[in-house]
Chain A
């Protein structure tokens, strides 16, 4: 067993885990934070995307022990209470989700996209940057739209720099 301490959504947590525990398993099974999903075994679908020290990563391909000490943000940590993060609000406003399973990963990716690419995102950039997120429901049309407007809203709200 290995002791892992993480700061997850602002809260410090410590658990003793089998070294083979993936970060996503740590979140889902140890912390019962089930918003982060698993949709594949090959690091492709992006349903498990979280932020590790501020950068988007696939939590299905990280050992929890290997990110010991890191600061993690999950989908559960984006909204401030009832106040949605602008990107969450944009997904709702533009119908950027249907079944909702890929959505947490999509939103975490989108927020990271804004961090890297800015708040003025064209469709081509958004589509390219979604390389690592697969959605089976929406055909991406409304996801692209949601990210465009979500990015814009992050710019206005000043959340892009956070």
Chain B
């Protein structure tokens, strides 16, 4: 195969339109006659709505119409849903409060949707919004989880009188207790996983359109999974049946999880398009994004690890409170449960694990999946725990990890997961070499000479990707199957269109998916087009998140290509007058085994459509196949990241000096794109560790509601990354792919915090380790060094 197949560093096919300004994002879509929607958002974290007066606003110039929750209710438009049922340990179902797209009677966080003004221009809609008079009865808010679960705390949803969504558990409590009973040493740690705001650079947007001639709705929206959006909007919210609702997610400017969910704004836009008889467009500004995009993380955890005298881990006990915000977002319930606890075994052979997770309502924005979703939180717990345990036992952190690594596969953990393949030692060995670990002592001494504190931190992460076997997740409460679909359409001239349910919003599917097809069919990559993001074109799909597009989406394509090959062999058999069993397909050519008779792929395609060489009873004309791939297991990317940094004790400023990443993603389609995913993930993980944190004040106002206060990682905050790979093929899918999209974000935070705590000599610092936090922490143990 030429340089465009599997494993080649093929430049991205999609780039031309992006670098020339020709990308088509949702805000670039303008429908004839469109009006503009602006949402009135609650200024209060918790309040009853006594009344809403609209007359003055209606009289404002350009106003087309104004709607409130009553209008949605009158049209029997359902509320937003949470699609994963979690049961508490007592067997009771999670307590899901109603989540109307526009508030009905009560608002529950600052930014909650109260009303929508639709006007000729966005400016006019904004002008009118200010004229709406809402009479609020302000209620006491609960902002911190600790306050939410106090007796007598204000109740956010009547269905959850203790503001608790569920008290969930996983693992063997008694067995874990027994492990602790025989421990020679117990390591304990209190851990906070800070709340993050995803911040894709493209703010969310939606354009709703209604065709009164056909009764069909069209929604253009910034979605990672347009088919899921259609399913929810149709089956649960009740906009229209699926065949009357087309959802298009055109170019999408990053998602990181936050564009998985079905939000109030797109619901209202598509519904309102029919109400006002015009297309309705909404585009978030950045502050709206901060207020109303689903946030990520926000855990408070106490963890304990039981160890024997040699440093072998005997057991792990974890108790976590997870902040779910004011409403349950689309997949929020599964993030701190099934995407979290099953990863707490890390790369280690831990005989007993017991985890309890309480999901808590607070008067804050909903919290849901953000890059890694549960797995970064789990990795942070286990990787901080092993680092601290190694320190307490005075063992080298790398050696300590090696001692506890899982070494044979498949490996069944005590928390659901069965790791199918990996070689954790190999990644550690390579990372130690690349990072020049053996000379860290000299580098620390050199830094000390300059008055700087140097630290090194490890993170041997594992994640579960390729989400996920449908029946398995179904048994755990998922409301959907998590397969993927593909359709391969071969045109008569031999060019190919791939229709996929995966969605690309930066991942480069138009290139990697085409590489697979180019390799398999032996055709130039330019002859392959990837079609995605339109429910009218692609029949069904589950979208892109959880590093699933390679492992699941491409597996579906691979399966459909198998069918194409089989059918094409039959066509070639007729053309070459041989049995299909004697036809070989290689490098784009069909040949009769043992002869020099051959025909290329394009000619077979043409023959399939001309259909002169066979009759319809023998073989159907055409060359088009589809497939659904339902994974047989999760995939388990793993690796070792090493962060080395310097702290200026005088200012608390941390500078990352070196970053070593060694990842095992199984087979790799395009190393250039995979490395790019790793880079981006690390940057988000470093952002979490050093810079980012959503802060609400006691009244529930979001203090960090713009880039003036929320620190986004900039180029100058980050190092270059030294990225290497090891490889164990994934046995659970036909391509041997594990997935790479979240690895960096999962690996990075504990690597940074292990390095910082190494540098400062104690564990008393939480993320984000801002200069202020580091300066304070340095002072706690080293007053002399800090005085400068």
Which residues of A are interface residues toward B (Cβ below 8 A)?
Answer: 18, 20, 28, 32-42, 44-45, 47, 74-76, 78-79, 84, 88, 91-93, 95, 97-104, 107, 123, 126-128, 130-131, 133-144
- Does B216 belong to the interface (CB within 8 Å)? no
- Residues of chain B in range 230-256 having any CB-CB distance to chain A below 8 Å: 251-254, 256
Residue in A closest to B20 when the chains form the complex, CB atoms:
A79
Residues on B with C-beta less than 8 A from A93 are 11
Known: A28-B27, A47-B201. 13 other contacts (CB 8 A): A35-B21, A39-B203, A44-B707, A45-B707, A79-B20, A84-B19, A92-B15, A97-B15, A107-B19, A139-B713, A139-B744, A140-B679, A140-B718
Q: How far is the CA of A144 from the CA of B505 in the complex (A)?
A: 21
Residue in B closest to A32 when the chains form the complex, CB atoms:
B30
Binary interface profile of B, 672-715, with partner A (CB < 8 Å = 1, else 0)?
11011001111110000000000000000000001110001111
Residues on A with C-beta less than 8 A from B771 are none
Q: Do A98 and B256 touch across chains, with their CB atoms under 8 A apart?
A: no
Give the shortest distance, in Å, between B204 (CB) and chain A (any CB): 12
Q: How far is the CA of A152 from the CA of B590 in the complex (A)?
A: 46
Interface size on B, residues (CB 8 A): 57
Residues on A with C-beta less than 8 A from B329 are none
Among A37, A79, A101, A144, the most chain B Cβ lie within 10 Å of the Cβ of A101
Q: Do A99 and B506 touch across chains, with their CB atoms under 8 A apart?
A: yes
Number of residue pairs A-B, CB distance < 8 angstroms: 179
Residues on A with C-beta less than 8 A from B679 are 138-142
Residue in A closest to B24 when the chains form the complex, CB atoms:
A34
Residues on A with C-beta less than 8 A from B285 are 41
Among B24, B673, B680, the most chain A Cβ lie within 10 Å of the Cβ of B680
Residue in B closest to A103 when the chains form the complex, CB atoms:
B18
Q: Do A139 and B718 touch across chains, with their CB atoms under 8 A apart?
A: yes
- Residues of chain B in range 488-511 having any CB-CB distance to chain A below 8 Å: 505-508
Give the shortest distance, in Å, between B45 (CB) and chain A (any CB): 22
From the candidates A74, A100, A134, name the one contacting B712 in the complex (CB within 8 A): A134
Ordered by A's residue number, 23 sampled pairs between the chains whose C-beta atoms are within 8 Å are: A34-B25, A34-B28, A37-B25, A40-B286, A74-B21, A78-B20, A84-B16, A91-B19, A92-B19, A95-B672, A95-B675, A98-B508, A98-B676, A99-B251, A104-B19, A136-B254, A136-B680, A136-B684, A137-B506, A137-B676, A137-B680, A138-B676, A139-B684
Q: How far is the CA of A102 from the CA of B20 in the complex (A)?
A: 12
From the candidates B27, B28, B680, B715, name the one contacting A98 in the complex (CB within 8 A): B680
- Does B23 belong to the interface (CB within 8 Å)? yes
Residues on A with C-beta less than 8 A from B721 are 139, 141
Residue in A closest to B22 when the chains form the complex, CB atoms:
A35
Residue in B closest to A147 when the chains form the complex, CB atoms:
B715
Give the shortest distance, in Å, between B207 (CB) and chain A (any CB): 13
Q: How far is the CA of A97 from the CA of B505 in the complex (A)?
A: 11
Closest 7 CB pairs of A and B: A35-B21, A101-B253, A100-B18, A139-B683, A99-B506, A139-B679, A98-B506
Residues on A with C-beta less than 8 A from B706 are 40-42
With A84-B20, A137-B254 as given contacts, are A131 and B12 in contact (CB-CB < 8 Å)?
no
Give the shortest distance, in Å, between A110 (CB) and chain B (any CB): 11
- Residues of chain B in range 632-683 having any CB-CB distance to chain A below 8 Å: 672-673, 675-676, 679-683
Q: Do A75 and B506 touch across chains, with their CB atoms under 8 A apart?
A: no
With A126-B715, A136-B684 as given contacts, are A97 and B19 in contact (CB-CB < 8 Å)?
yes
Q: Do A131 and B16 touch across chains, with their CB atoms under 8 A apart?
A: no
Q: How far is the CA of A43 from the CA of B429 in the complex (A)?
A: 45
Residues on A with C-beta less than 8 A from B213 are none
Residues on A with C-beta less than 8 A from B15 are 91-92, 97, 100
